[in-house]
Structure 1
């Protein structure tokens, strides 16, 4: 249990730093419920972390009915992620880097947090939990499933906000998906070796 809490703490902290330090200042979005939460912040000024927690409620209920094992990790993961996003809000605007550097570093940080949590079958919440459940049923890599869902959210954001800079969100989604895929695949290889 302590190991799980440490992993959740690490993953949610990385996500909080990545969102506030690198994504929010550029006014771009990520994928999943984080992406939807960011969109709602840009459109209506809602708090990203709080919105993220509320968006997760239907997924918690779905997970509880279909696979209670993922429910507890999903609830704790999403709550911690939402809280860390709010706690790290002061990082907004702290890092002054080039646009592409900010995008890449932010995506690697977020992808590391998401990937480490998924590696230990702990979801940061939202569509990541949904992706875990789909991966379990379909045997498709969770990183691939996340990329497809995230791409749909980014394209929706492009239509709603009509900001060309949102194309960088596709880079973020690709890197986060790649990081999650690499980290979760490393876990599979280790299990095979054991």
Structure 2
């Protein structure tokens, strides 16, 4: 139980730092529900953490009826990561590395954070939960599923937000998917 709590907390902190220090200042778009929360931030100046909670509710309701343990574990990850995403918003004001470095560093931080949370059967947002549920019923690795979902959202973000750089967002999402896949493959029992 302590290991699970530590993974969720540490993973959420990494996600919060990655989003606020590397992603938002460079107008990068992550995938999944986090990406949708970022699009809402860029377009409407909404708090991304709160938006992620609202957008994740339908998937958590589905998990409640079909994957109850994922719901219980996932809700902690969702609320904790959303809290840290909104808590670390002052990091956006700091000077960040160039966009190429931010794409790679942000991808590594987010991928590590998400990977740790997935090892605890938690998720940072609804799409991670969806990927975790799909990985149980398909032969695909959870990181590959996240990569597919994320790619769809970043293309949507690129169409909606003109400042979004598709190439760098895609690089970041690839790093997230690769890092998540490596962590979940290496450390899952």
Report the TM-score range of the alignment, normalised by the length of the smaller protein: over 0.9
How many residue pairs match? The answer is 189
Q: How does 1:1-194 map to 2 (within 5 A)?
A: 1-163=1-163, 165-188=165-188, 191=189
Provide closer, same or farther for how the CA distance between residues 13 and 164 of structure 1 changes in structure 2, counting only shifts above 3 A. Answer: closer
Deviation at 1:22, TM superposition (A): 0.5
Give the number of the structure whose alpha-carbon radius of gyration is greater: 1
Give distance in 2, aligned partners of 1:27 and 1:164: 5
Give distance in 1, aligned partners of 2:26 and 2:20: 10
Deviation at 1:135, TM superposition (A): 0.5
TM-score by length of 1: 0.93
8 Å contact kept, 1:22–1:95? no
* Residues 161-192 of structure 1: CA deviation (Å, up to 9, x unaligned): 2346232111111000000000011024xx3x
Give distance in 2, aligned partners of 1:15 and 1:141: 21
Q: Which segments of 5 or more consecutive residues in structure 1 lack a partner in the other structure?
A: none
Deviation at 1:26, TM superposition (A): 0.6
Give distance in 2, aligned partners of 1:95 and 1:119: 32
Corresponding residue SS for 2:51: helix
- CA RMSD in angstroms, aligned pairs only: 1.2
8 Å contact kept, 2:22–2:103? yes
Give distance in 2, aligned partners of 1:164 and 1:119: 31
Deviation at 1:72, TM superposition (A): 0.8
Give distance in 2, aligned partners of 1:50 and 1:78: 10
Corresponding residue SS for 1:39: helix
Corresponding residue SS for 1:56: helix
* Residues 112-167 of structure 1: CA deviation (Å, up to 9, x unaligned): 10011112322223100000000000121001111001100011111112346232
